[in-house]
A and B are shown apart, each in its own frame.
Chain A
Amino acid sequence: MDPNMDDYETEEEPGFVVEDVSKIVKESVEAAIGGNTYQHSRVNQWSTSVVEQCLSQLSKLGKPYKYIVTCIITQKNGAGLQTASAFFWDNTTDGSCAVRWENKSMYCIVSVFGLAI
């Protein structure tokens, strides 16, 4: 009796693919704040839109991952900024990606963390 084994292999390669995520982030940032100059009153709306756009594109990838996206927008005035992250997760399946973007008046740093379910 031949056990009819179903093939449970998923079509797409699971895993946190840094290039794909990085591309999604760059596009979202460009679309949300592309040609703008830093304006204190609009920063709220910009950072929200960057993050929400990234998240919606990431969820469209359809992978079994939970995502955390953070975005920091800062005005350019010569001040220094440093970010660091530490993780306690599964190295084989989880990953992170940080993208730095700038224009003449501001810097935008977006970090994406993907945690496998």
Chain B
Amino acid sequence: MDGSDSYLIRPHHQHKFRPAAVKECVREIVRERLSEVRYDPEEVPELTRSLADSIKDKLKNAGFDRYKLVVQVVIGEQRGQGVKMTSRCLWDADSDNYAEDVFMNDSLFCVVAVFGSYYY
């Protein structure tokens, strides 16, 4: 009997979702794409979507086997308003984790949250 299914219920240490590494990766992409950008209501929807897709694609290839990924990108205009973003998760704290990054420039702010959930 060959080619049995693997029934791992915990990720191997090397394949665990590492928030620090993910945060670095996200930071690089965001800074590269947004450093000189000004908030433009026509372009922002497309920009947010494409940023989310690029981050997701980059992380898919980062070696987090058996992890389901959710990437959320929020871009807002800087006008002195108050904003609060919170999240809570119902998951397995041993194997699941998240990473976040906030970027600001004069005209916009961008928050990226990446959640990784192990698929048993």
Instruction: List chain A positions with a Cβ less than 8 A from chain B.
Output: 38, 40, 43-44, 46-48, 50-52, 54-55, 58-59, 66-90, 94, 96, 111, 113, 115, 117
Residue in contact with A115 in the complex, picked from B49, B68, B83, CB distance below 8 Å: B68
| CA of A78 to CA of B55, assembled, Å | 29
Contact A85 B72 (CB under 8 A): yes
Chain B residues with CB under 8 A of A81: 74-77, 83
> Which residues of chain B are near A51, meaning CB under 8 Å?
86-88
Residue pair B92, A79 in contact (C-beta under 8 Å): no
Contacts of B51 in A (CB 8 A): 84
A66 & B117 in contact (Cβ 8 Å cutoff): yes
Distance of B62 from chain A, by nearest CB (Å): 11
Measured CB to CB, the closest approach of chain A to B78, in angstroms, equals 7
Interface size class of B (residues with CB under 8 A): 35 or more
Q: Which residues on the B side are within 8 Å of A72 (C-beta)?
A: 74, 83-85
User: A43 CA to B85 CA in the complex, in Å?
Assistant: 10
Q: Is the CB of A38 within 8 A of B88?
A: no
B70 sits at the interface (CB 8 A):
yes
Task: Provide the bound-state CA to CA distance between A58 and B47, in Å.
Answer: 32
CA distance A59 to B52 in the complex (A): 28
Assuming A67-B90, A69-B89, A88-B60, is B70 touching A80 (CB within 8 A)?
no
The reply on B3 being an interface residue by CB < 8 A is: no
